[in-house]
Amino acid sequence: MQKYIRTTLKLELQDKPGQLLTAIKPISESGANIITISHQRDEENPGSDLIVDIVISLQESALPKLLDSLKAQNIDVTRIGIERLMCMKTFILIGHILHTDLTDTVNRIDKKDITEVTELHIIMPKLDEPSTAKLTIKAVNEAEMDHAIEKLEKIAAEKHLMIIDEIGGRL
């Protein structure tokens, strides 16, 4: 299976017509999906370079070649940020979540830079009544996500928590 990554490219373009198109061509040729494009003009220095942020998702193996072809067009790439956690899934947990050591639940799923609990929200209606939590797990790929889900299911069985998961829900 091919690994997809999401990355932000900060491009410096000369402020003249056709430059953006020149930059986009190699990107689309690389097979990448363009997610957003935003550009800002330096108002204080008219005629200076145009800075464009492009968020793309593409196969990780295609990235070096894309950077080469941008360079070949004389386009400066000043920053590459890579969002590594590409898979995201949301879960709702119901049960005695706090009584059963929430930190332990989260710690057992968290694997630095590989799977992370990125959002956690809890509502406790009354003392001794089951509480409800919503948590979002992000993972680098589907295999790691499946791994995290397995762990979550094991924890839920141990702690008598009910899990409600999404149908589909992968980025």
What is the rounded distance in angstroms from the CA atom of residue 113 to the CA atom of residue 46?
41
Q: Nearer to another protein by C-beta: 63 or 85?
A: 85
- Quick note: the x/- pattern for another protein over 91-130, rule CB under 8 A, is xx-xx-------------------------x-x-x----x
Task: Please state the closest distance from residue 149 (CB atom) to another protein, in A.
Answer: 13
Look at the alpha carbons of 71, 75, 81, 83 in this order and tell me if their dihedral is positive or negative.
negative
What is the rounded distance in angstroms from the CA atom of residue 87 to the CA atom of residue 82?
14
Q: Nearer to another protein by C-beta: 95 or 100?
A: 95
What is the rounded distance in angstroms from the CA atom of residue 80 to the CA atom of residue 59?
15
Residues that bind another protein (CB under 8 A): 90-92, 94-95, 121, 123, 125, 130-132, 134, 162, 164-167, 169
